[in-house]
Amino acid sequence: MTPLAKLLEAALFASARPVPTEELLALDPEASRAAVAAALEEIREHYDVEGHGVELTEIGGGWQILTRAEYTEAIERAQLAARPARLSAAALETLALIAYRQPLGRAEIEEIRGVSVGSVLKSLHERGLIDVVGRGEGLGRPLLYGTTPIFLEYFALRHLEELPRSDELAIALRAEPRAL
Amino acid sequence: MMEVPPTAGAELPGPASFVVELTDFSGPLDLLLTLIREEQVDIYDIPIARVAEQFLQRIRTLQLNEAADYLEMAARLLRIKAQLLLPRPEGDEGWDDPRAELVRRLLEYQQMREVVDVLERAGEERRNRFARAYLPQAAAPPESPLALSLSELLAAVDRILRVTKDPGVHDVVPRAIDVPGAIGVIRALLALRAHARWTDLVTRGAEPWQVLSTLLGLLEMAKLGECRVQQPRPFANVEITRDAASEAA
């Protein structure tokens, strides 16, 4: 591998979070954007072609080294790492609405889901999947929620636009997804 | 907090309790959609009487009758049923189907469920791959006072005892502390100098109430943003800086 690819590999290995391209660029002031992109491609190919247990993934607006899915069972059995608990149906429904219609207030979510969502919003907020992004007009200036980078990471999305567009769904959604 | 995913054969909730997360339904709309699917009826032409009957039946067997959300939907269904029984005006023009709002909500809910499927698949894919688990260490906490040696502690106590006069005697005074007075003194000092130290404010031989007043006054001023208070290390002299920002304001 080229020295730049090795440097990026080391940086990605050291980081617990996906590393955005901007931060990778800062590692070597000499390196151009194209050189970093080529080095990332080199790492990815290296992992894929030579058959490594990890792979390079573009995720949540950055790059991250992840273990390959086929080793998950064994790793978890050995208790070296544990998969995060699955989100409940209530949490997923709430997240789906926020992802597509953000910024979105609690009243709108409750209207669509037909149930109260106070505790679900709290737990999503605690897990860092959503955050308060503003306040709406109207009585009490309600808090408006939006998704966070952790949301993208949790669902292995590069950006929000990777979700199916509303007109690609079997039933078109009322509102277009908005970029963060 | 994580809700428990619905599990087959899970214990039925007791008669006085309901836990929606433990049921197979995530809300009244979910239940309604399931009924419509089971009955294989057209969502745009819901036989309200039958569906309402089924809905009530289901929330009874689910022991969910305490759940306000489900009861609200039940009431809504019964109201639509009643509205449908009213005679329509001559000709169908100008007649609003009372089911229209329900249909709109059901469709909207169905769209959302479709997105949920997408998210569920994506989340499952990511769940099955591990990232590095290194977590950056929290910022180092300030030096703990517990790390002090006994002699340092005694020296500190000694300093306080020497500064305060006759600490053993308790005199009950009508106005034990005078915070506004202390603030006046600190303001006057800061008006002259941009920087001051604790020892400039509290002189040797100060009464305990004076020390307290000065401390409270200082904290109050720091809260108001009139000055900044810093102590480089435990028991060091407190440095007071006039806040340039508040001056400009």
Residues B68-112: pLDDT tens digits? 788 888 888 898 888 888 877 666 666 777 888 888 888 888 888
Indicate which of A77, A88, A122, A147 best probes the interface with B, i.e. most B CBs within 10 Å of its own CB: A88
Delimit the domains of chain B by residue range.
Answer: 15-85+99-110, 174-248
Listed as own residue / partner, the contacts of B80-84 with beta carbons closer than 8 Å and 24 or more positions apart are B80/B48, B80/B52, B81/B48, B81/B49, B81/B52, B84/B48, B84/B49
Q: What is the mean pLDDT of residues A148-169?
A: 85
Q: Which class does domain A89-168 fall in?
A: mainly alpha
Indicate which of A93, A97, A129, A130 best probes the interface with B, i.e. most B CBs within 10 Å of its own CB: A93
Residue in A69, A85, A166 nearest the CB of B2? A85
Tell me what ipTM this predicted complex has. Answer: 0.78
Residues B38-52: pLDDT tens digits? 888 888 888 888 888
The CA distance from A93 to A70, in Å, is 29
What residues of chain B, 162 to 181, have a C-beta less than 8 Å from chain A?
none
Residues A4-53: pLDDT tens digits? 999 999 999 988 888 999 999 999 998 999 999 999 999 999 999 988 99
Query: Does the pLDDT value for residue B15 go beyond 90?
Result: no
**B66 in contact with chain A, both atoms CB, cutoff 8 A:** no
Confidence of residue A55 (pLDDT cuts 50, 70, 90): very high
Indicate which of A12, A70, A95, A113 best probes the interface with B, i.e. most B CBs within 10 Å of its own CB: A113
The nearest CA of chain B is from the CA of A41 a distance in Å of 19
What residues of chain A, 48 to 87, have a C-beta less than 8 Å from chain B?
55, 57, 59, 64-69, 72, 75, 81, 83-87
Residue in B21, B111, B128 nearest the CB of A169? B111
Fold for B174-248, please state it. Arc Repressor Mutant, subunit A (1.10.10)
Residue in B6, B113, B115 nearest the CB of A100? B115
Residues on chain B touching A59 (C-beta within 8 angstroms): 126
CATH hierarchy code of domain A3-77: 1.10.10.10
Residues of chain A with CATH 1.10.10.10: 3-77, 89-168
> Which one-letter DSSP state was computed for residue B195?
E
Residues B129-187: pLDDT tens digits? 888 875 555 556 555 656 678 888 888 888 888 877 665 666 666 667 788 888 998 88
Residues on chain A touching B44 (C-beta within 8 angstroms): none
Reduce the secondary structure of chain A to three states and give it as a string.
CCHHHHHHHHHHHHCCCCECHHHHHHHCCCCCHHHHHHHHHHHHHHHHHCCCCEEEEEECCEEEEEECHHHHHHHHHCCCCCCCCCCCHHHHHHHHHHHHHCCEEHHHHHHHHCCCCHHHHHHHHHCCCEEEEEECCCCCCCEEEEECHHHHHHCCCCCHHHCCCHHHCCCCCCCCCCCC
Residue B159: what pLDDT? 86
Size of interface A-B (CB pairs under 8 A): 145
